[in-house]
Amino acid sequence: MAVWLDRNDRVAWVHLDKPETLNALAPDDFAHLAELFDEIARTPSDRAMVIVGEGKAFCAGANLSEVNRDEHVLHLMRRIHAAAANLHKMSKPSIAAVHGVAAGAGANLALGCDLVVATRTASFCQVFVKRGLSPDFGGTWLLPRLVGMQMAKQLAMLGDTVDAETALRIGLVCAVVADDELHSYTDALARRLADGPPIALAQTKQLFGRAATNSFDEQLDAEAAAVAINVATEDCAEGITAFLERRSPVFRGR
């Protein structure tokens, strides 16, 4: 199976597993990815998600050789973009663990996660322009928010490959680690997120999602509303009690 899921200690691990194509995915694979994201979003025991690529790469994007030429382009793109939409609206924290190539839709799949961890040998490329295409999988929404409009246009219009250290410097990734440390580093990060307060983390994601289009006053109102929701939770009471008792809190998502 090209895309599959396993679970370990409240963390859902999504595996991209077509190493013979550097995990370039067919439209049906993207559709399955959308289903997995929806399943994780609806599973209370899944407190965080990690996306990983098997073999030598994270994901080389869409496999154009597996596209059905008889399928209308808009229908095809909607099937592919269902995965991007489900990833974006997921309330649970997500991590992309990137090694090797992340190109095209594969790069934007990684960048659509809340946190991106890359190995020193990882690379990112908005390869679309070199195929006579414009970006997809949310790239034109994600890139300006991550690196600013000028850099976003440069990446998309030139299609240059960005190495891991440059990706860290310009804000595409949050950490760069040795190749043999990717799994352990990402697992520890995912467990920290899984230990966090699910409702507060969901509110935090929602607030950042609104920030780009809200006015400052609207964002203050949204923050106030989120705090009101959080204050009413058992997790908030636990966090305050744990602080006063000088112990680590145990959050249960209530």
At residue 7, the 3 state secondary structure works out as strand
As a whole number, the mean pLDDT across the chain is 92
Q: Is residue 180 over pLDDT 70? A: yes
> What is the average pLDDT across 51-61?
96
For 94-114, letters b (16+ CB in 10 Å) and e give: bbbbbbbbbbbbbbbbbbbbb
- 43/41 Cα distance (integer angstroms): 6
For the chain, which domains are there? Answer: 3-194 (3.90.226.10), 197-244 (1.10.12)
What pTM did the predictor assign? 0.92
**pLDDT tens-digit series, residues 70-115:** 667 787 788 889 999 999 999 999 999 999 999 999 999 999 999 9
**pLDDT for the residue 20:** 93
Q: Is the pLDDT of residue 8 over 70?
A: yes
Q: Which of 46-55, 119-128, 198-207, 227-236 has the lowest mean pLDDT?
A: 227-236
Indicate whether 69 pLDDT > 70: no
**Binning pLDDT at 50, 70 and 90, where does residue 253 land?**
confident
